[in-house]
Amino acid sequence: MKKLIAVLAVALALGGCATMDKIGTVISAAQNFTITQGQVDSARNSYDGFVLAPLYRYAKLPRCKTGQTITIENPCHDRKLLKQIRQVDIQVAKAFSDTQNSITSGDNKGAVAAYTTLKGLIDIAKALIAQTGMTALGA
């Protein structure tokens, strides 16, 4: 039974990785072109679904005690990892805001630059959220 759960978790994690890549695809497609409101909205929804929602759920897990490791039987959040991801999330939120402001003001060059920054930050957030194990639950 445990083996079955482990295999299922790995399969879901891989599925999660594949869908997570869509965030990057959406943003890559926008690079060097006009950044549209729809592209920002889509990327923001993807980010909220694949990073922010799992981060919220991760934070709600009990705190890992010193020396405790995360297991399927006893899921917990690592305080350092949580703080690290939140720091990146603050930068992502600012990059989304910068991109939105550039679009609103009609500054496409600024929007492309902000979007490029956003892509890099989302890649970092994706890598960190994968470490939480929340992707194993299907996110």
Q: How far apart are CA 35 and CA 100, in angstroms?
A: 10
Q: How far apart are CA 81 and CA 130, in angstroms?
A: 11
Q: Does 134 contact other proteins by CB under 8 A?
A: yes
Q: At its nearest, how many Å lie between other proteins and the CB of residue 106?
A: 18
**Residue that is written with structure tokens 């020396």 in the block:** 67
Q: Does 69 contact other proteins by CB under 8 A?
A: no
Q: Which amino acid is at 131?
A: Q
CA contacts within 13 A on the Cβ side of 44: 14
Question: Considering only 2-10, 101-109, 113-121, 122-130, which stretch makes contact with other proteins by CB under 8 A?
Answer: 2-10
Distance of CA 70 to the CA centre of its chain: 20
For other proteins, the binding residues (CB under 8 A) are 1-2, 5, 9, 12, 19, 22, 26, 37-38, 41-46, 48-50, 52-57, 59-60, 63, 65-66, 72-73, 75, 77, 79, 82-83, 86, 89, 93, 134, 137-139
